[in-house]
Chains A and B, each alone.
Chain A
Amino acid sequence: MEYMLFICTDPEAPEYVEAEDNIEEWVTDVDARGIRRHGNRLRPVEDATTVKVRAGELLVSDGPFAETKEWIAGYDILDCDDLDEAIAVASKHPMAKFGKIEIRPMWPFEV
C-alpha cells in the first residue's frame, strides 16, 4: 500500500537536538529496504506561494494555504505492507521525535 508521510513541525515537541537528528540513517535504511519511493525536504512557508482561481480571476499570494503554527517541512512516499509497517517506519524518522508525522494513504485515480 502506498502512503504519503507529511513531516510536520510541532511547537509543543521537545527541543531539537542536532546530535540526535539521524535523518541520513533513516533515509539510507528505507531506501535500502525499497520502502521509500520518493521524498524531500520542503522550503519553509516563507517561500510558499498560494494560487486560487475565483470567478475566472487568478489570485496569487505569498505564503501557505493556511496560517498555522505547524507546517509541513517535508514529505516521503512509502510503499508498505500495511499501516503497522508505515507506523514503524515513521516512528524511526527523527521528526517523529522533534515534530510530528501524518500518515495518509494514497487514493489512486482511475483516469
Chain B
Amino acid sequence: MEESLESVRSAIAAASEDDAARIVATLIRLTGEWALAEDCVQDAFAKALVDWPRRGIPANPAAWLTTVAKNRAIDQLRHAAAENNALRRLAQGAETREAEENNFGGTGFPDDRLRLIFTCCHPALALDARVALTLRTVAGLTTAEIARAFLVSEATMAKRLVRARAKIRNAGIPYRVPPPELLPERKGGVLAVLYLLFNEGYSASGGEQLIRQPLVRESIRLARMVAELMDSTPLAAEARSLLALMLLHHARSAARTDDAGDLVTLEDQDRSLWDQAEISDGVAEVHGAEQCRAVSGTRAGSYQLQASIAACHLLAPTVESTDFARITRLYDALALVAPSPVVELNRAIAVAMSQGPEAGLELVDRLDAEGTLDGYYLLPAARADLLRRLGRSTEAARHYRRALELAPSDVERRYLGRRLAEADTTTSNRPWKLS
C-alpha cells in the first residue's frame, strides 16, 4: 500500500497544524523535559515523511506520531544518566494515563495544550521568555523564525529559550492549568502575551512588516486555539473577544498604509479595502463572546469592550455614519473595567465625535491637568485636532508642534507634520483620527 508523496505531505502538514502542539504538550506532561519533547516530536514528523509513503498514511496520524515520539523519548532518556526521574515519570504516565491518550481529541479530558500555554505564560518567567516559549512550543515556529521576527540573532533567541526552560525546571514552575482561584489573573497573562505578539507583528511597518507577518498569523491562530480550548469555561468570553479584536484590526491591513508606506488613520482609510470576510468573522466572534458572557453572568471584560468598539467602527460604511454615542458608552464601561489615562483620552475623542469638539476639549484639558499623560504624543495631538475643528488654527499649530516633539517614530512624525502644515495654511472640517 503506497501513498503518493503529495498526499503524505498534506497529511503531515495537517498533522503539523492540528496536532503538533498537542503532542509536544502531552510529551512534556509525560517526561517533564521540554527540549526533549520538542526534539522527539520533530523526529517523529521526520520519520513519518520516510515511513508513510511506503506503508501508507495511518488511520490515526496523531496517535501514530505520539507513539513514535514517546518511544524516541524513552530511548533518549535511557541513554542519559542512570538516576532518571523523567524515565520514571514516563513509565508512570504510560500506565495511569492510557485512557486519556486513547481518547485522543475527545471531550471531557483536559487538553494538554492548555497546560502548555498557561505554563509558557507563567508570571515567574520574564515577558520575553514567555513570548519566545509560546512561539516555540505552542506555535511551533523554529528558533530561527522567532529570532528573525524579533530582530535578534538566532544564538540570542536560543539562549533565551534555554534560560526559560531552565527556570521552569529549577524553580519548580508546575506544568498545569492553574486552579480556579488563580485562573482569572493567569488567563490575563496568557491573553496579554498573545495580544503582545499580535501588536508586534501588526504595528511593524516598512521592511519590518514582511519579517513580522508570521507573528500576526501565529497570534491569530493561537488566539483561535485558546478560544476553543477555553470554550464553556468562564474565560471563554474574553478569549473569543481577543480573537475578535485581532481579526477586526487585521481586517484593515490593506488600508492602513499608503503607497509611500505612511500610516493612514482610521477615518481616512479607504473602507473598500477592508476585508469584509474578516470583519464578519470578527463580528461573529464578538457576538459569540457576548453569548458566553451572558451565560456566565459576569460583566464584559476589557477585550470584549475593545472588540465591541472596533466592531462599531468596522460596521460603519463611512466615518460620519459611525455610532459614536455607542462607542462613548463602551468607553464608559471600559474606564470602569480597565481604567487608564489612555482609555480616558480615547473616550474624550469619542465624546468629541458624538457631542462636538468643545465637549471633547473639556475632557482633554482635564486629562492634561492631571499630568498622567505627560510625554504621550497623542494628548497634544488630540487637543490640536479639536482646536483645529473649532477654527482655532494658531493654537492648533502650537499643539501639533508639541506632539511632533514627542512623537516616537518617523511614521508618526510624518503624519503630524502633514497635519501641522494643514493647520498652518487651511482649515478643514475632517474629524479627528481614532487609532
A interface list, Cβ under 8 A from B? 1, 3, 80-84, 86-87, 103, 105, 107
Q: Report the minimal beta-carbon distance from A6 to chain B, rounded to whole angstroms.
A: 14
A84, B171: Cβ atoms under 8 Å? no
Residues of B within 8 A of A80 (CB): 172
Instruction: Scan B145-173; emit 1 where CB is below 8 A from any A CB, else 0.
Output: 00000000000000000000000001111
> In the complex, which of the residues B124, B171, B172 has the most CB atoms of chain A within 10 Å of its own CB atom?
B172
B170, A84: Cβ atoms under 8 Å? no
B170, A82: Cβ atoms under 8 Å? no
A103–B173 Cα gap in the complex (Å)?
A: 12
B356 CB-CB contact with A under 8 Å: no
Provide a sorted-by-A list of 5 A–B residue pairs whose CB atoms are within 8 angstroms.
Answer: A1-B172, A82-B174, A83-B124, A83-B174, A105-B172
Residue of B nearest to A107 (CB): B170
Q: Report the minimal beta-carbon distance from B344 to chain A, rounded to whole angstroms.
A: 25
Residues of B within 8 A of A105 (CB): 170-172
A83–B172 Cα gap in the complex (Å)?
A: 5
Q: Report the minimal beta-carbon distance from A105 to chain B, rounded to whole angstroms.
A: 5
Residues of A within 8 A of B174 (CB): 81-84
Q: Which of under 10, 10 to 19, 20 to 34, or 35 or more describes the interface residues of B?
A: under 10
B1 CB-CB contact with A under 8 Å: no
Q: Report the minimal beta-carbon distance from A107 to chain B, rounded to whole angstroms.
A: 8
> In the complex, which of the residues B124, B171, B173, B178 has the most CB atoms of chain A within 10 Å of its own CB atom?
B171
Residues of B within 8 A of A86 (CB): 172
Residues of A within 8 A of B182 (CB): 84
B interface list, Cβ under 8 A from A? 124, 170-174, 178, 182
Residues of A within 8 A of B171 (CB): 83, 103, 105
* Beyond A82-B173, A84-B178, A105-B171, 10 extra complex contacts between A and B, CB < 8 Å: A3-B172, A80-B172, A81-B174, A82-B174, A83-B172, A83-B173, A86-B172, A87-B124, A105-B170, A105-B172
Residues of A within 8 A of B178 (CB): 84
Residue of B nearest to A87 (CB): B124
Residue of A nearest to B174 (CB): A82
A45–B17 Cα gap in the complex (Å)?
A: 57
Residue of B nearest to A103 (CB): B171
Q: Report the minimal beta-carbon distance from A77 to chain B, rounded to whole angstroms.
A: 15
Residues of B within 8 A of A3 (CB): 172
A107–B171 Cα gap in the complex (Å)?
A: 10
5 shortest A-B CB distances, which residue pairs?
Answer: A82-B174, A1-B172, A83-B172, A82-B172, A83-B173
Residues of A within 8 A of B173 (CB): 82-84
A82–B124 Cα gap in the complex (Å)?
A: 12
Residues of B within 8 A of A87 (CB): 124
Q: Report the minimal beta-carbon distance from A85 to chain B, rounded to whole angstroms.
A: 9
A82–B179 Cα gap in the complex (Å)?
A: 13
A81–B176 Cα gap in the complex (Å)?
A: 13
Q: Report the minimal beta-carbon distance from B226 to chain A, rounded to whole angstroms.
A: 20
Residues of A within 8 A of B124 (CB): 83, 87
Q: Report the minimal beta-carbon distance from A16 to chain B, rounded to whole angstroms.
A: 26
Residues of B within 8 A of A81 (CB): 174
Residue of A nearest to B178 (CB): A84
> In the complex, which of the residues A82, A84, A107 has the most CB atoms of chain B within 10 Å of its own CB atom?
A84
A81–B171 Cα gap in the complex (Å)?
A: 11
Q: Report the minimal beta-carbon distance from A23 to chain B, rounded to whole angstroms.
A: 23
> In the complex, which of the residues A80, A83, A86, A87 has the most CB atoms of chain B within 10 Å of its own CB atom?
A83
Q: Report the minimal beta-carbon distance from B43 to chain A, rounded to whole angstroms.
A: 29
Residue of A nearest to B173 (CB): A83
Residue of A nearest to B175 (CB): A82
Residue of A nearest to B124 (CB): A83
A3–B182 Cα gap in the complex (Å)?
A: 21
Q: Report the minimal beta-carbon distance from A74 to chain B, rounded to whole angstroms.
A: 21
Residues of A within 8 A of B170 (CB): 105, 107
Residue of B nearest to A1 (CB): B172
A86–B172 Cα gap in the complex (Å)?
A: 10
A82–B122 Cα gap in the complex (Å)?
A: 13
Residue of A nearest to B179 (CB): A84
Residue of A nearest to B170 (CB): A105
Residue of B nearest to A84 (CB): B174
Q: Report the minimal beta-carbon distance from B220 to chain A, rounded to whole angstroms.
A: 30
Residue of B nearest to A3 (CB): B172
A84–B171 Cα gap in the complex (Å)?
A: 10
Residues of B within 8 A of A1 (CB): 172
A1–B182 Cα gap in the complex (Å)?
A: 20
A20–B174 Cα gap in the complex (Å)?
A: 31
A103–B123 Cα gap in the complex (Å)?
A: 13
Residues of B within 8 A of A107 (CB): 170
A35–B171 Cα gap in the complex (Å)?
A: 17
